[in-house]
Amino acid sequence: MNNAQETNARVAAWLRARRRQLTRHWLREVRKQIRIKPVSHDAVIGLFDQLPELFDELCAMLEQNGSPRTTAMRAASDARQHAQERWKQGFALDELYAELDVLHRCVQAYVRKYFLSIPSRQHQPATHATIEAFFSDAIRTGIAQFQSQADRRVSEAIGERDRALAGQHRSEERLRIATEAAGLGIFEWDPETDGAVWENERMYEITGQPTKLGPLSAREFTRILARPEDAARLGEALDAASAGHHEMHATFEICRLTTGERRHVEICARCLPDATGARQVVAGTLADITDRVLVEEKLKEADRRKDVFLATLAHELRNPLAPILNAASLLRRRDISALQLRWLQGVVERQAKHLATLIDDLLDLSRISAGKIRLRREVFDIRTAIERAIEINAPAAARHGHRLEINGIAHGSSIYVRGDPTRLTQVLSNLLDNANKYTADGGHIRLSLDATDREVRVSVEDNGIGMEPSTIASMFEMFEQAAEVSSKGTSGLGIGLSVARSLVAMHGGTIQATSDGRGKGSRFVVTLPVCHAPARIAVQAPRAGNGPAARLRVLIVDDNDDASASLAAVLEDHDVHTASCGKAALEMVDRLKPQVVILDLGLPDVSGYEVAERISGRAGANGSVGPVLVALTGYGLAEDVERTRQVGFDHHIVKPARPEQIATLLAEIGKTAAVREQ
């Protein structure tokens, strides 16, 4: 070891021996620096623990006399670690530099004290140079590390900003797409200057403002576009929104500038800071809601017609019930004559048929609305349907003293159409019925038939109350009827023409109405496509077994005791028994062995479907032929008929059934050889 190395080793030992004094001196000098303000307990601890590591490394280097490269590497490593810790603790760059610089100056001062205490100062410059190089590398590396941390933080902040801007751009783009898809116009209004910005073309489309003229201010918008009765309300709402009191939501009418068309619009707006954040603006959307308003008005009108319909339905159902109840009261008298009895019988029968007609109309309406009505198409002469319709309505025309004129039916060749004869008879009968209702007594009704090679036209014309031309189209809407109905005392549910139009359309035809006005009569024309005459069909020979009707054992199952008892009385020519529930019905089937079971489907304990399945299952298990099963129910859709067939019913009759219909069915069962004996 040469003299310089020995000197450095003695300096290191001298420094180590005075480490406490040097540290106190260094700490005192550090605290004098105004810029250094440790902000946490960890920062204060660093003054004692982190920086002295550099001091220890310096002493070790002097003792071992390390190479300059090794010394620089050790100093840089410790300086980077200290700079990273100070960065985490929130120190500034000048504070880091001051800490390292104070330590450097304190060490150099103590080294000078050492050389002042010895006689020879030969190697003092070299020792100071070594220490200077050590701290130079440490300070430079620490600052570089600190700056690297700052650069990385700035880079991260810029990245976060870029990601935030990209997210904002995507959000704005999604908002733009959504507003365009919703047909919304976007605007911004400055309350201080009354200036406006229209963010998209939709604002110009809704208002009709030419694009080249630029946006309208809020005051111009209110004055030019809004109706006078809406302008004040709209201005107040805008002022309240600009003051930030509450969000604006207003609907009103505007007059488009280019076409003068009236449109319903809706504004939604609120007060927000502008792009600079220094001022408040009103931002919002403008929507054209004309279509929605029209739909809402139609729904309100439909709801109104529904209410009228329900009130009319209640009235129409009560009307036939009143004479029926009166007839029932008269039947309690013992002194009633045969003539009165026949009259009461006619009253009950007529009113019951009227109720059945009302129910049929309601069922037709429901089936047509659900798309479940099925036509039984065949090729037939349209005059057949006309004659049936005349036959149905002739008595009513006679009661009112109407003159019914028929043109184009008595002579000429047949006119064939392909359709459902029953449904087309229903349409024509409805038109004749309306003519009877809405024509004063002694009026004139004309039915005419006209045909070409491609179509046939049936017109029904009267000189009755007529219709306003503006209301003709609505007469075919559901639940709509003439306003004069109540004053004339005529009946109807306002669904006949709606059903007629649907039925005619299902036949590929049209129905049109015309009238010259109130009190000038009406004319309805049904147009249908014609077809070729049908091929001849061989007449089948009558089936054998048409002998006298047999007396049958019949079981009627219905939880309505009045219905089962009255039907049993009608079928008095047969051996009739009744049951009011499914369990009793199954017991009576085992005991009585009936040949026919007339079964209601809605029973209180077991459904009619299950009763039918059990009866059929028992007969099959015994190898015998079970009774003929007849479903008597209020369910009459095609799927209802198919379901009864699947569970074993032989016949399906819809309530209210005419007594003669059931009597005829039993007569046919009694005559046929297919009666299933038990």
pLDDT digits over 105-149, tens only?
Answer: 888 888 898 888 888 888 888 888 888 888 787 777 877 877 787
Specify whether the CB–CB gap between 268 and 284 falls below 8 A.
yes
Residue with tokens 């309530």, as numbered in its chain: 655
| 97: CATH | 1.10.490.70
Same domain flag for 28 and 135: yes
Same-domain pairing of 42 and 122: yes
The per-residue pLDDT for 258 is: 83
Q: Residue 502: which residues within 8 A CB-CB, separation 6 or more?
A: 368, 373
Question: Is residue 268 within 8 Å of 249, Cβ to Cβ?
Answer: yes
Which stretch of DSSP H or E encloses residue 596? strand 596-599
Q: Assess if residue 139 is contained within a domain.
A: yes
Based on the structure, what is the number of domains in the chain?
5
Which two three-digit tokens encode residue 203? Answer: 């604002």
pLDDT at 543: 44
Residue 547 within a domain: no
Residues 322 and 356 in one domain: yes
Q: Which of 369, 384, 406 is the last residue of a domain?
A: 369
Residue 49: pLDDT above 60?
no
**Phi-psi map region of 598: left, alpha, beta (phi>0 left; psi -120 to 50 alpha):** beta
Q: Based on the fold, state whether residues 15 and 142 are members of the same structural domain.
A: yes
Residue type, 402: H
Q: What angle do CA 19, 22, 24 make, to 5 degrees?
A: 110
Query: What integer pLDDT is reported at residue 42 of this predicted model?
Result: 55
Q: Please tell me the distance from the alpha carbon of residue 166 to that of residue 170, in angstroms, as a whole number.
A: 6
Q: What is the CA radius of gyration of the chain?
A: 52
Residue 416 tokens read as: 């064939």
The CATH number for 389's domain is 3.30.565.10
654 is a domain residue: yes
Q: Which CATH number characterizes residue 215's domain? A: 3.30.450.20
For residue 545, being part of any structural domain is answered with: no
Are both 449 and 365 inside the same structural domain? no
Q: Which residue has the tokens 């049908």?
A: 534
Q: What pLDDT, on a 0 to 100 scale, did the predictor assign at position 46?
A: 53
**Domain limits at 59?**
3-155
pLDDT at position 545 is: 45
Q: List all residues 6 or more positions away from 41 whose beta carbon is below 8 Å from its beta carbon.
A: none
- With beta carbons less than 8 A apart as the criterion, state whether 405 and 468 touch: no
Residues 580 and 485 in one domain: no
Residue 451, both tokens: 């045909």
Neighbours of 489 (CB within 10 A): 8
Give me the count of residues in the chain: 678
Using CA of residue 255, residue 258, residue 261, residue 265, what is the dihedral sign? negative
Residue 341 and residue 389 in one domain: no
- CATH code assigned at 594: 3.40.50.2300
Name 361's Cβ contacts closer than 8 Å, sequence gap at least 6: 493, 495, 496, 499
In sequence order, what are the beta bridge partners of 451? 456
Q: Which two tokens stand for residue 162?
A: 């870029």
Do 264 and 145 lie in one domain? The reply is no
84 in a structural domain: yes
**Mean pLDDT computed over 384-392:** 87
Mean pLDDT of the chain: 79
3-state class (DSSP) for residue 565:
helix
* pLDDT > 90 fraction of the chain, expressed in percent and rounded: 14
Same domain, 404 and 501: yes
Give per-residue pLDDT as tens, 177-235.
766 667 788 888 888 888 888 888 888 989 999 988 899 988 888 888 888 888 888 88
User: 212 with 244, same domain?
Assistant: yes
**Does residue 540 belong to any structural domain of this protein?**
no
DSSP codes joined into one string, 1-60: --HHHHHHHHHHHHHHHTHHHHHHHHHHHHHH-TT----SHHHHHHHHHTHHHHHHHHHH
Find, among 18, 107, 113, the residue nearest to 58 by Cα: 107
User: What pLDDT is stored for residue 313 in this prediction?
Assistant: 67
Statement: residue 544 has pLDDT above 50 = no
pLDDT at 20 over 70: yes
Is residue 174 a part of any domain in this protein?
Answer: no
Residue 568 CA to residue 563 CA, distance in Å, equals: 9
Q: Are residues 145 and 269 in the same domain?
A: no
163-187 tens-digit pLDDT: 887 777 777 677 677 666 677 888 8
Residue matched to tokens 């954040």: 277
Query: What is the pLDDT, as a whole number, of residue 486?
Result: 41
162 found inside a domain? no
**What's 355's domain CATH number?**
1.10.287.130
Most trustworthy range by pLDDT among 36-50, 251-265, 300-314, 546-560: 251-265
Contacts of 53 (CB under 8 A, 6+ apart): 78, 81, 82
Peptide bond into 191 cis (omega under 30): no
Question: Rounded CA gap, 347 and 327, in Å?
Answer: 7
Per-residue model confidence as pLDDT tens digits over 311-335: 666 656 776 777 788 888 788 877 8
Domain identity same for 637 and 499: no
Summarize pLDDT for 65-105 with one digit per residue, the tens.
655 555 555 566 666 666 666 666 666 667 777 777 888 88
> Side chain identity at 467, as an amino acid letter?
M
Q: How confident is the model at residue 300 (pLDDT cuts 50, 70, 90)?
A: confident
C-alpha dist (Å) from residue 20 to 8, 24, 44:
20, 6, 17
Boundary (domain end) residue, out of 245, 261, 288: 288
